[in-house]
Amino acid sequence: MSAAEATALAVPAVRPAVRAEALPYASPYLAGVGLGLVLLAAFALVGRGLGASGAFSSVAAAGVSAVAPAHAAANPATAEYLGAGGPLRDWLVIEIAGVVLGGFASAWLAGRLGSAVERGPRVGAGARLAYAGGGGLVMGIGARLARGCTSGQALTGGALLSVGSWIFIATAFAAAYAAAPLFRREWT
């Protein structure tokens, strides 16, 4: 199973064109099976799963190293992300560059590209951007503590039946449900 075949499975017949209306989203089950085949291809081809937060750590580590190389090398939490070839030789950074390209291509084919700040009717764009940035910051800390995020722990570790990954899934969903009422005004 090649990644290209996996992709084809999730792609309805679309022509790249300027569309008056965006295509509807794919069935979540079909998209999920496609995503699962991509994950399986990763296991079979390179013996590892997918990830996302590790790419952020590599980019941040490269940034710190560019400004203060000795400081970066002295910190084990930064040094472990400083590969020999720099961030552009890092597996997850390249994979995430692919995610950006693939997400862009899919949205373009479906007529879903466009500048926007997604939010509910009761919050301004500035407030939504603040929630997004703050939420991202908190997620970054959580992902570092858990050694991975929705991709590296939930998807990859979940499929590998890893106990720690399922603990991550359980506490992440429980906390998100518990906190959801606090952020309801962001969306409704």
Partner 1 sequence: MIFPLIETETTAGGGAGLGVALVLGVAFGFALERAGLGSARKLVGQFYGRDLTVLKVMFSAIVTAALGLFWLSRLGLLDASRVYVPPTYLLPQAVGGAVFGIGLVAAGLCPGTSCVAAATGRRDGLAVVGGMLLGVLLFAEAFPLFAGFYDSTPRGTLTFPTLLHVSPAVATAALVAMALAAFAGAERLERHVNRGGGS
Residues 31-90 touching partner 1, rule: CB under 8 A, are 31-50, 52-53, 56-57, 59-61, 63-64, 75-78, 83-85, 89-90
Q: Is 140 in the site for partner 1 (CB under 8 A)?
A: yes
Nearer to partner 1, 70 or 84 (CB): 84
Contact positions with partner 1 (CB under 8 A) in 12-31? 25-26, 28-29, 31
Of 66, 105, 122, 124, the residue at the interface with partner 1 (CB under 8 A) is 105
Q: Is 112 in the site for partner 1 (CB under 8 A)?
A: yes
Instruction: Give Cβ neighbours of residue 31 (< 8 Å, ≥ 6 apart).
Output: 10, 25
Count CB atoms within 10 A of the CB of residue 75: 14
* Residue 140 host element (H or E): helix 125-146
Using the rule CB under 8 A, is 133 a contact of partner 1? yes
Residue 145 is encoded by which pair of tokens?
Answer: 């503590």
Q: Give the angle 163-58-31 at the CA atoms, nearest 5°.
A: 55
